[in-house]
Chain A
Amino acid sequence: MEHIVIIGNGISGVTAARHIRKNSDKQITIISKENKYFFSRTALMYIYMGHMKFEHTQPYENWFWEKNNISLKEAFVANINTEKKVLDFSNGEHLSYDKLIIASGSKPNKFGWPGQDLEGVMGMYHKQDLENLEKYAPNKEACKRAVIVGGGLIGIELAEMLRSRDIPVTFLVRESSFWNGVLPAQESEMINEHIKDHHIDLRLGANLKEIKADENGKVKSIIIEETGEEIFCNVVGLTAGVSPNINFVKESGIATNRGVLVNRFLETNVKDVYAIGDCAEQHDAIGQRRNIEAVWYTGRMMGETLAQTICGNKTAYKPGHWFNSAKFLDIEYQTYGWVFSERGLKEGETYFQWRHPKDYKCITISFHKESRQFIGINTFGIRMRHEIFDKWLTENQSIEYVLEHLADANFDPEFYKLHEGEIMEKFNQENGTNIKLQKKSWKRIFSKA
């Protein structure tokens, strides 16, 4: 029987395993050193915050793996011998494979800052990082202040975590406004305000120069590059992005750049070796996507796709319309299609924007000025239906059509105050149009594109 070995039990590896099992009775082994059972990395923050226990982050009960005849191996892969098709583990053991899937995920970026390996400095990616945080920042007495370096999605989550235990947080963000490389200014500024509401000391346009140690080799303070200011702290969180976790691949002859290089079929240059998830890097970007897509959904989709190929139905990775979501403290964010920040706006594209006068709610719709084609939407504080936007994107609907039928797309809980009327009014005013909101229609909602 063919032996499929998967390095990494994150969402991408596990999804691949599940789908291979669905379609075949191949022998499957999943390897991970981090934790025996698959857990949801995205939920790590909730454990520290006390919303959940670690066991709650495991999507499958422990019997699931044996029942589905998927072997789990707890070990660290040190090297891949692609000639002999054997994995060498750091404990001296070996395991041979017929097909190998590399799904080893990411690791936090460190940019060679002085002091970056001191005690009390940590990323926030692996389960072990969480344990570290629990050790160095159990409460506000032990951790008088924490400094977070890098204003992305994980950085703001780490800030929220620490604030849940009342630990003072200084948040160094390189950009002039939070995540404004991705978000339009309206939204980025709204998040700035919200961060300050949560009593987080937000430092925009601030880079880390160095981390200083006390006499015991523990973190004592950090120095800001721009101002030279010294901030005393007990914990430093490094959240300046992630990069593929592929050190063990380097000697194997498998081609890598920043990640493991793959073609559209998720195949590497070596036969029978594939890579998926955070660690995979496309030779050529797909549409406007990045070559490395380090998000949950794409990891899952690559797993779904690769399982087909492995089971004899060769399938290219062809993700559909882009979507994503996140939560900035109390503000939920969803996006469908492409909305770039002002800097990233393409020729001929423009925004329609609306922001609630009081609440933290806003939307940005990207569309084509001439053709009126709807390109994408960012929504903050309002939930929207994925299926509807996916359909509208496929149908190349116009911005006017989208606004007219916005009620179909709303996904907020029942009884929520709806804002489509105000949104429409603003659009009509700005564009001298007279679009009328259509009533929500189940028929339209459920009709397929």
Chain B
Amino acid sequence: MKAIKYTGLLLFLIGLAIFTGTIFTGSFSLTQTELDNYIQEKGYKSEILKTELKNAVVTNKSLNIFEFSSRVRGAFETSNNFYDALIAKYDAEKNWDKKGEQYQYKVYGKPHTLSYNLAKKAGKGYVRDNAGLMWFLTFGLGIIGALLFILPNVILLGKPGIKNNGIYLNSATNRGAIAWLVLVYLVTFYLVLYFMADYAVNWTYILDPISKALNGGEASQWFVYGFLYCVIMLTMGVRMYIKYRHNKYQIVRTTSVLFFQIVFAFLIPEIMTSLNMPGYDFKNAFPLDYDFFFDWNIENLTNSGGIGIFILVWGILLTLVIVPVMVYFFGKRWYCSWVCGCGGLAETLGDPYRQHSNKSLNAWKLERWLIHSVLVFSLVMTIVTLYCYFSGTESLIGIKSQWIKDTYSFLIGAWFAGVIGTGFYPIFGNRVWCRFGCPLAAYLGLVQRFKSRFRITTNGGQCISCGNCSTYCEQGIDVRSYAQKGENIVRASCVGCGICSAVCPRGVLKLENGPETGRINPTDVLLGNDVDLMQLVNKK
């Protein structure tokens, strides 16, 4: 059994190494026609850009992606610098007409995006020519290896039951060297994905055939991310099924997040795209889906006929009606740990790291400040955007629509949700984003705290203060501090994953939806003691 596990681990690492290694392979160059077509398609008017790009990428040299990228970005900057200098010059001369003329020659967007778009056309080499085989050597080996590593647990873990043995004795799950290595890998991955996608263009070749089959187009870096996301969730979902095989709630919940990720977040949008509709994730609610009210999205939707209007109405209904009503009946868990993609990854890939959330009172204070600030930020951004969209202006009370959208996308969308949110799993736990950053979670949390039937019931006086519940709470709730007082847990941040209840050795905790009266029940003297004393002390 152990041998199978280690073989699996080895295969997985080989797959991961090949996957990572593909980045460095292939050669990149364009023909003049390819370049001209692209420039025409984009409508770039800068002659400088044309010449510079020609010198950079129309070549017989075999450039790897890093050289290619650096050349393209160089061309991009040379061109923009040139026109910026002109603008400055005419500005100094107060020659406004001339100054204004220069702007059309500037290239907008990010250098790495231009590089990615060109690289996607420019790549040649083994990976692109052998997508199928490469798929097997990367994804295939990864999946097989991971499964070989995970499946023996059916036997190795012994009888069904809570098996957290060794979690704090293992480098990978106890913030040891392995955990830090994983952190570095994940953070690098996200940095590449968000900010240097061109470096990972080889990955998109591996998935081109699958992408074409699904939506008719070639794979983008986001397709790679979506596909990888599903694969990781599925594989780590298998691990969840084995680890919690005695716990029906965990089994059902895991099935639910897998379903919503694969069908709603991945397949449906892909299929919609192939049918020339706007690809839309029907479960992704604003303000988590922060660009839902961005001008380009509204435009896109209103131009897409009936389905576009339907999506627009659905998106608004989802946030304003469906989400809060469901939270009233079932708590925020119906979204955060049953449906949501971020939650889904946290509950599968992130499960081995759930114990790292900080349980201190200070962390709780920080949480409330941060998450509500992000909520306010997202709302302000949306108001500004919508105001500008409908009034045709560029800013509201001095806040520029474009600026605030860019800032939010960069700080919250990319850094917080991605790089920190997932990259830091191995050290800070699997729900950093959900706990400190997600504006939707903040909104659901307010509903859950003040108007909901959901609570975690504490079973009278049975708690022995052992601390398992708090330790394994991914949201950093000090569950024990309530349980040992015989008090139900009603907290905005609780995502209802149910693990506290699972790990409690005394059967103290139960997630349930019940009447609102008696949901919050402060006690000082617990059930089991003198009835008169309980009444005396607990009357409040």
Does A57 sit at the interface, judged by CB under 8 A? yes
Identity of the chain B residue whose Cβ is nearest the Cβ of A52 in the assembled complex: B471
Structural contact, A59 and B501, CB atoms closer than 8 A = no
Does A42 sit at the interface, judged by CB under 8 A? yes
Structural contact, A386 and B461, CB atoms closer than 8 A = yes
Give the residue of A198, A301, A323, A414 whose beta carbon is less than 8 angstroms from that of B159: A198
Can you name 15 A-B pairs with beta carbons within 8 Å?
A19-B524, A40-B464, A43-B465, A43-B467, A50-B164, A56-B470, A164-B165, A330-B162, A385-B459, A386-B528, A412-B510, A413-B498, A414-B511, A415-B249, A446-B514
Structural contact, A56 and B461, CB atoms closer than 8 A = no
Structural contact, A43 and B466, CB atoms closer than 8 A = yes
Structural contact, A320 and B498, CB atoms closer than 8 A = no
Per the 8 Å Cβ criterion, residues 502-540 of B in contact with A are 502-503, 505-507, 510-512, 514-515, 517-518, 524-533, 536-537
- Measured between alpha carbons, how far is A100 from B161 in the docked complex, in Å? 44
Structural contact, A49 and B166, CB atoms closer than 8 A = yes
Does A427 sit at the interface, judged by CB under 8 A? no
Chain A residues closer than 8 Å to B533, beta-carbon distance: 304-305, 308, 315, 318
Does B92 sit at the interface, judged by CB under 8 A? no
Does B462 sit at the interface, judged by CB under 8 A? yes
Chain A residues closer than 8 Å to B113, beta-carbon distance: none
Give the residue of A50, A383, A385, A390 whose beta carbon is less than 8 angstroms from that of B166: A50
Chain B residues closer than 8 Å to A198, beta-carbon distance: 158-159
The verdict on A57 contacting B160 (CB below 8 Å), with A414-B511, A415-B252, A416-B249 known, is no
- Measured between alpha carbons, how far is A385 from B514 in the docked complex, in Å? 14
Interface string of A394-416 (1 = CB under 8 A from B): 10000000000000000111111
Please give the distance in Å from A185's CB to the nearest CB on chain B: 22
Identity of the chain B residue whose Cβ is nearest the Cβ of A295 in the assembled complex: B464
Chain B residues closer than 8 Å to A40, beta-carbon distance: 464-467
Which bracket fits the contact residues of B? Answer: 35 or more
Does B185 sit at the interface, judged by CB under 8 A? no
Main secondary structure of the interface of B (DSSP, over half): loop
Chain B residues closer than 8 Å to A51, beta-carbon distance: 164-165, 167-168, 468, 471, 503
Structural contact, A383 and B465, CB atoms closer than 8 A = no
Per the 8 Å Cβ criterion, residues 293-342 of A in contact with B are 296-297, 300-301, 304-305, 308, 313, 315-321, 323, 325-327, 329-330, 332, 334
- Measured between alpha carbons, how far is A273 from B130 in the docked complex, in Å? 84
Structural contact, A386 and B462, CB atoms closer than 8 A = yes
Chain A residues closer than 8 Å to B481, beta-carbon distance: 59
- Measured between alpha carbons, how far is A61 from B514 in the docked complex, in Å? 32
Structural contact, A413 and B530, CB atoms closer than 8 A = no
Count A-B contacts at CB 8 Å: 177
Structural contact, A319 and B247, CB atoms closer than 8 A = no
- Measured between alpha carbons, how far is A384 from B462 in the docked complex, in Å? 11
Chain A residues closer than 8 Å to B459, beta-carbon distance: 383, 385-387, 411
Structural contact, B527 and A386, CB atoms closer than 8 A = yes
Chain A residues closer than 8 Å to B506, beta-carbon distance: 325-327, 332, 334
Chain B residues closer than 8 Å to A61, beta-carbon distance: 360-361
- Measured between alpha carbons, how far is A416 from B511 in the docked complex, in Å? 12
Structural contact, A42 and B466, CB atoms closer than 8 A = yes
Given contacts A43-B465, A321-B528, A383-B510, 11 further A-B contacts (CB under 8 A): A19-B524, A40-B464, A50-B170, A194-B159, A329-B159, A330-B159, A330-B161, A390-B460, A414-B248, A445-B514, A446-B514
Chain B residues closer than 8 Å to A370, beta-carbon distance: none
Give the residue of A315, A390, A412, A446 whose beta carbon is less than 8 angstroms from that of B515: A446
